[in-house]
Amino acid sequence: MAGTMGTEATAQKLPESGGRKLLDVNNIEVVYNDIVQVLRGVSLSVKEGDIVSLLGTNGAGKTTTLRAISGLLKPENGHIRSGYIHFDDNDITNVLGTKVVLHGAVMVPEGRRVFKHLSVEENIRAGSTTRKDGSKAVRADMAKMYELFPRLKDIPNRMAGYCSGGEQQMIAIARALLASPKMLMLDEPSLGLAPLLVKEIFENIRLINQEMGTTILVVEQNAKIALGMSTYSYIMESGKIVLEGPSKELRNNPDVKEFYMGVTQGGGRKSFKDVKSYKRRKRWM
């Protein structure tokens, strides 16, 4: 892992646009059971050093996109039927997840999945099983995790199943970081968390990017916070990318404000009855 941890004002700055293309997803179609098509020609890229957000409503295909990149489609009878995925100049199209991790792309699944009967420290250390750089490096990175997530430093021996939702999310992220990823993928990190914890988690994500030099791809429904911390963003609907651009520009897009941030032109919240005109009124549809 590159860099050192810190808690200075750098956490407030947006990341600079990255350099070379680390991830290249090109026109992929994903089907389940050879029948159900979920993704329809999805293309996206992530540059090294960037934070990229993938936004959309439930069922848009965001999680399936992460599973396709992570090599986690096969256990659910899914596969990439066409297109390709390249990561760090390696073709990882339909490659199993264990090999994708070895290439340096690691996913934190939705739902704060921890080993409930293992301690906090045992959970985090489990992420280092694929590493070959020795126990000294692993211990150093364990110490970094406790600096990044000070809440966990006070409870290393607590069973993970007895930790709060926020603590479990921190455990899951720390465990993924112990694999020393080049790119960290996060699926709905804010789901089910209180607003103060959401803010803390996303500040941690920002530090992971800026202080550790880890590229981030985050799937999130909270458009406001995701657009506020990312460099570039994609919006998905019905298995397709319908809008993309620099996050700063999308934050000011009136359609994005209305349909993903709940802000109408009059400055109020969008009411449920207005959702019926959702597709008809979007200019990109």
For the segment 14-27, the average pLDDT, to the nearest whole number, is: 79
The percent of residues in the chain predicted with pLDDT above 90, rounded, is: 68
Nearest to 51 by CA among 208, 176, 237, 239: 208
Residues 42/24, Cβ–Cβ less than 8 Å: no
For residues 38 and 78, the answer to whether their CB atoms sit within 8 Å is yes
The yes-or-no verdict on residue 98 having pLDDT over 60 is yes
The pTM for the full model equals 0.85
**Average pLDDT estimate for 198-218:** 94
Distance CA 160, CA 175 (A): 12
For residue 67, pLDDT over 60 is answered with yes
- pLDDT exceeds 90 at position 58: no
Domains, the chain: 17-115+173-247 (3.40.50.300), 253-285 (no CATH)
Q: Do 202 and 186 contact (CB within 8 A), yes or no?
A: no
Confidence category of residue 10, pLDDT binned at 50, 70, 90: very low
Q: Is residue 270 within 8 Å of residue 262, measured between CB atoms? A: yes
Q: Report the distance separating Cα 85 and Cα 9, nearest Å.
A: 36
d(CA 81, CA 37): 9
Q: What are the phi and psi torsion angles at 14 (to 5°)?
A: -75, 150
Average pLDDT over residues 176-181: 95
Query: pLDDT tens across 231-259, in order?
Result: 999 999 999 999 999 999 999 988 888 88
pLDDT digits (tens, 9 = 90+) for 136-147: 999 999 999 999
> DSSP E strands: which ranges in the chain?
21-32, 36-47, 51-55, 78-87, 90-91, 105-108, 183-187, 215-220, 232-237, 240-246
Sign of CA dihedral 227, 231, 236, 242: positive
